[in-house]
Amino acid sequence: MSNIYGLTEEQEMMRDSVREFADGEIAGIASEIDRSEELPLDLCKQMGEMGLMGMTVPEELDGAGLDMVTYCLAIEEVTRASASIGLTMAAHNGLVVAPIQMFGNEAQKKKYLPPLARGEVLGCFCLTEPQAGSDAAGTQTTAVKKGDKWIVNGRKIYITNGGFAKTAVLTAVTAPGQGTNGISSFIADTDHPGFIVGTTEKNKLGMRGSNTVELLFEDLEVPEENLLGGEGEGFKNFMKTLDGGRIGIGAMGVGIGQACLDSSVKYARERKQFGKPIGTFQAIAHKIATMATELEAARLLVLHAARVRDAGKPYTRPASMCKLFASEMSMRASNEAIQIHGGYGFTIDYPVERYFRDAKLLEIGEGTSEIQRHVISRDLLNLG
Ligand code: COS
């Protein structure tokens, strides 16, 4: 197909090579990754070698030096094969590499970005706490300055990559009583004493191959030079990080949507009932038409948000819009994909039940659909 999305030759080439990699190396083991609930770390390393773990990091820091549009194309392709691997990649790039790149000083970037970008180490983003989910400012983790160190205490939950990460970015209250301005962000080495990996979530509804853990910080020592951004800027830094992350989640929605469409078209052409392929029945054909149309709309919203960001313009609203629409689209698409597959779709013999389970997380992680509607509407209404 000719280039209908206004992509550059370089963007198309990268998309095609990630597609080939995802089809060849990930798609065949996606179901096994889901069933075993184990993140294949060697695959992450391989992805690092391909430049997928530091996509927007400059080449001089061992990254691929690519733009947000290319990043989204890659996330889509990887997620189409396995959403668990797509999430691992999105959390690493969008929530760990990105804030260090955006808010880190030169020394921090030089120290932390190259190994992350090469995929030698994984990163995790530590925001969510038992009392701080949608209310991200409800953080109870504290960091107290003692000499040339910050002493961090607290508990984080649902942390993607947390069980394997070597580099963590985290938020903690440094000035109690000052609301969001009293929260700072830090880079922590996970092999320091006091960084404790707690319970690993098992039997999640979906994204079973992605690693989700509880983390405990018990007098974790963070050197003062690891403050990320200025003191009291942590909440805003993490909000800006999530704006970018949400574009990545939108791209994941497109990946799952595409997988649903591919499976549904194939099945509707092959499966015969009443002596004809079921795709000849309007009830099925129209489901596929709706799925394809909504998928295309989501893809364009994601590309738009990525382009706004690449252009250096404010992207909070387009990011939330693409995340909201693409995640809900992927939920509808996977629901309809199962319906098209009938009883077969309800079993693990076909991948559509996995798409359905994985899609649900996209409506929750990196801000629920309710939070996205809140962000979009308050930006429009401007009522304070
Ligand atoms: N970019 C830059 N600054 C931002 C921002 C953004 N996207 N969002 C908020 N801020 C700033 C505000 O401008 C405000 O600054 P001032 O104090 O200078 O006025 C400050 O941060 C506090 O913002 P706000 O008052 O909006 O904070 P709230 O406590 O009302 O929280 C929401 C806002 C609900 C949007 C936020 O908590 C949120 O996104 N929650 C969802 C969290 C989430 O996605 N978690 C998933 C983590 S899983 S990886």
Q: How far apart are CA 242 and CA 221, in angstroms?
A: 26
- Residue 82: phi and psi, rounded to 5, are -155, 115
Q: Select which of 77, 328, 336, 366 is catalytic.
A: 366
Q: How far apart are CA 36 and CA 224, in angstroms?
A: 40
Q: Are 369 and 310 in contact, with CB atoms under 8 Å apart?
A: no
State both tokens at 128: 């969510």
Give pLDDT tens digits for 149-169: 999 999 999 999 999 999 999
Give pLDDT tens digits for 78-90: 999 999 999 999 9
Q: How many helices (H) and strands (E) does the chain have?
A: 12, 10
Residue with CA closest to ligand 1 atom 36: 136
DSSP H/E element including 170: strand 167-173
pLDDT at residue 1 greater than cutoff 70: no
Q: Is the CB of 128 under 6 A from ligand 1?
A: yes
DSSP H/E element including 179: none
Q: Are 226 and 111 in contact, with CB atoms under 8 Å apart?
A: no
Q: Is the CB of 371 under 6 A from ligand 1?
A: yes
Percent of the chain with pLDDT over 90: 98
Kindly state the average pLDDT of the residues 13-38: 98
Nearest-atom index, ligand 1, CA of 243: 7
Taking each helix axis from N to C terminus, what angle separates 316-345 and 234-270, rounded to the nearest 10 degrees?
Answer: 30
Residue with CA closest to ligand 1 atom 24: 180
Q: Is 366 a catalytic residue?
A: yes
Q: How far apart are CA 163 and CA 199, in angstroms?
A: 9
Looking at residue 348, its pLDDT comes to 97
Kindly state the average pLDDT of the residues 140-155: 98
Looking at residue 280, its pLDDT comes to 98
Q: Are 52 and 89 in contact, with CB atoms under 8 Å apart?
A: yes
Kindly state the average pLDDT of the residues 114-140: 97
Looking at residue 3, its pLDDT comes to 81
Give pLDDT tens digits for 348-372: 999 999 999 999 999 999 999 999 9
pLDDT at residue 384 greater than cutoff 80: no
| Among 26, 4, 150, residue whose Cα is nearest residue 88 | 26
Kindly state the average pLDDT of the residues 40-52: 97
pLDDT at residue 133 greater than cutoff 90: yes
Alpha-helical segments (H) within 205-281 = 234-270
Looking at the DSSP bridge assignments, the partners of residue 272 are: 277
Q: How far apart are CA 133 and CA 3, in angstroms?
A: 40
Spell out the residues 6+ positions from residue 58 whose beta carbon is closer than 8 angstroms to its own: 65
* DSSP labels, 64-88: ----HHHHHHHHHHHHHH-HHHHHH
Percent of the chain with pLDDT over 70: 99
Q: Is the CB of 249 under 6 A from ligand 1?
A: no
Q: Are 91 and 13 in contact, with CB atoms under 8 Å apart?
A: no
Hey, what long-range contacts does 305-314 have (CB within 8 A, 24 or more apart)? Answer: 305/247, 305/250, 306/67, 306/68, 306/69, 306/71, 306/72, 306/247, 306/251, 307/68, 307/69, 309/68, 309/244, 309/247, 310/67, 310/68, 310/69
CB atoms within 10 A of CB 323: 35
pLDDT at residue 278 greater than cutoff 50: yes
Nearest-atom index, ligand 1, CA of 136: 37
State both tokens at 54: 């530091």
Give pLDDT tens digits for 187-204: 999 999 999 999 999 999
DSSP H/E element including 336: helix 316-345
Nearest-atom index, ligand 1, CA of 125: 49
Give pLDDT tens digits for 205-261: 999 999 999 999 999 999 999 999 999 999 999 999 999 999 999 999 999 999 999
Q: Is the CB of 242 under 6 A from ligand 1?
A: yes
Q: Is the CB of 241 under 6 A from ligand 1?
A: no
State both tokens at 326: 């693409």
